[in-house]
Each structure stands twice: as structure tokens, then as C-alpha cells.
Amino acid sequence: MAASYLTPRPRDFIATELDDISYEAMINAVTHGRPDTAMLGFVNTISREDIALVVDFVRREFMQNKDRNTAYHTVENGWPNHQQYALAFPFALEEIALDTPSEQLSSQQRIGRRIFMQSCVTCHDRARVNDEGVIWDPRPVSYPRNQYSHRQTETTPPDSISSATPYARHEQAPVLVNLTAQEKEGEALFQENCAFCHAPDGTGKNWIGSFLEPHPRDLTDPVNMQTMTAERLRQVIRDGLPDTTMSAWKGVLDAGQIDAVIAYINRAFHPLAKAAPAD
């Protein structure tokens, strides 16, 4: 994907013959970079010996031999049954645009797009699209294809079925019905702001939450939530929590919005404890 936004594009070494560029020119490009391109010099990153090894490899494997073993989806590289993903190939090979309307796809192509999005997208990224949209459009959901496995056994389905990451399921917000107006407002506020760390399902076990120390509170855990009152939660959201990544939201959310978030947490994840009666 990065290459698709670069001008000029990075060199296609498979389409480059040995006579097209000299060994010395390649050494110089890797060492010092190329002006007016995204190719930076590696003179301060890797040794001159390693630069030579890289150039030797590229010239031999890609430019001269066009070797099959440089392809990723081979038995030698651990893909004994890559053909099981055949329905996704048209999307990976950019023969079909990824954002083609579903009604324009056959039933097999719709299955292929689903397999691509669940398994292949990790490396092939967005493939080809008709509508570029906003080039950089950040959103508070991000998880890698951790523990990815393309192997299939009698007991383990391919990742297009089993899901390639342990974080994916925590990116699913609970589906609730009959929410009050306040709870609906809190749902929108939580999913747009709090879910980045606490996960859309409130567990804090999404990718971001899993790497924070201490981990964000699991809002679904009875042990964590059995003594959490609305008053305590209101204070934490408003003022933050020292020595954690829980920052103060009083400059972002007003009192009514904080109460809406609390109402949603109470409904979606775990009922809040009752406040102790005043003496």
C-alpha cells in the first residue's frame, strides 16, 4: 500500500534485467539513497558488507533468476495448501476491485472477498479499490493479524474461518436493544473515545489495551466491577487516574456526556454497584 502512494514508484526488480542497472549503481543507491525519491541511504543503518549482500541477493534472485523461491506462497515457505484460498485470488491479484458493490459480484466472488478480508488482507492490504477515499483517515480501531496461521488441520480450520488474531473478537461492540436516549448517547461516546483503550466490548483486551501498562480496566469483569459505583466512575472519567494511561476527560466531555457514558457502561458491560449510604 505504501508503494502505491509513492511518486516515483519503487523499482520493480522482477521486471528489471541485469543490463538495465549496474551493480555499482545499485550499491550507490542503497548506500546513499536516490534524490527526489523515497529511497533513503542505508550507510548509517547497515554495514557496507551487508549492503553488498542485499544487492547481490536482489540481482541474483529477482533480476537474473526470477527464482520461484522468492515467491511467498510456496510449500518451501510453509504454504502446503495455498489453493484453499483460490476464491480470494482475484482480489489479491487486483483483478477485482475490493470495493466493488456486492450486487455486482457473484456468490463465489463474495465468498472470495470475505476470505481476502479475513486472511489475505494482512499482507496484501487493501489490494485495488475504485474509490481511493481519504488517503489518511485514522480511526480508533487497530489490531494486527497476530498469531496468524495459514495451516489447516483436521481440527483447525484456515484463518478465514477461525479468525487470524486473538484481538479481533474484542473489536466487536455488544448489540443492544431498547436503549434509552442517554444510553444511546453514551454508546456513541464510548465507542468513539473509550473503545480505543477499553476495546469496543469493554474488556480492554484489544490490541492497544493489551500493550498498555497497567492494562485498562476490564469493564465486564465482575471482580473488577463489583465495587465500582457511578460516583467513583464519574470521578475517574472526569479527573483521570494517576500513574495510568487513564487521562482526565473533563476538558473533552461535559457532565451530561460523562453521565451518558456511565449509563452505557452500566447497561452494556456490568451493572454498577450501589453507593454506600451516607452516615
- Per residue in 232-265, pLDDT (tens digit) is 999 999 999 998 889 999 999 999 999 999 999 9
CA distance 182 to 188: 10
Number of Cβ within a 10 Å radius of residue 18: 11
Domain with residue 221: its CATH number is: 1.10.760.10
Same domain, yes or no, for 93 and 125?
yes
Same domain, yes or no, for 100 and 30?
no
Same domain, yes or no, for 189 and 141?
no
Query: Once rounded to an integer, what is the mean pLDDT over residues 96-125?
Result: 88
Q: In 3-state terms, what secondary structure has residue 123?
A: helix
Q: Which structural domain, as residue segments, surrounds residue 12? A: 3-70
Q: Which of 55-69, 122-136, 180-194, 236-250 has the lowest mean pLDDT?
A: 122-136
Task: Give how many domains the chain has, as a whole number.
Answer: 3
Q: In 3-state terms, what secondary structure has residue 115?
A: helix
Q: In 3-state terms, what secondary structure has residue 19?
A: helix
Q: Which three cell numbers stand for residue 32?
A: 546513499
Q: For 137-152, write each residue's pLDDT tens digit.
A: 554 444 454 455 555 5
Query: Once rounded to an integer, what is the mean pLDDT over residues 217-239?
Result: 94
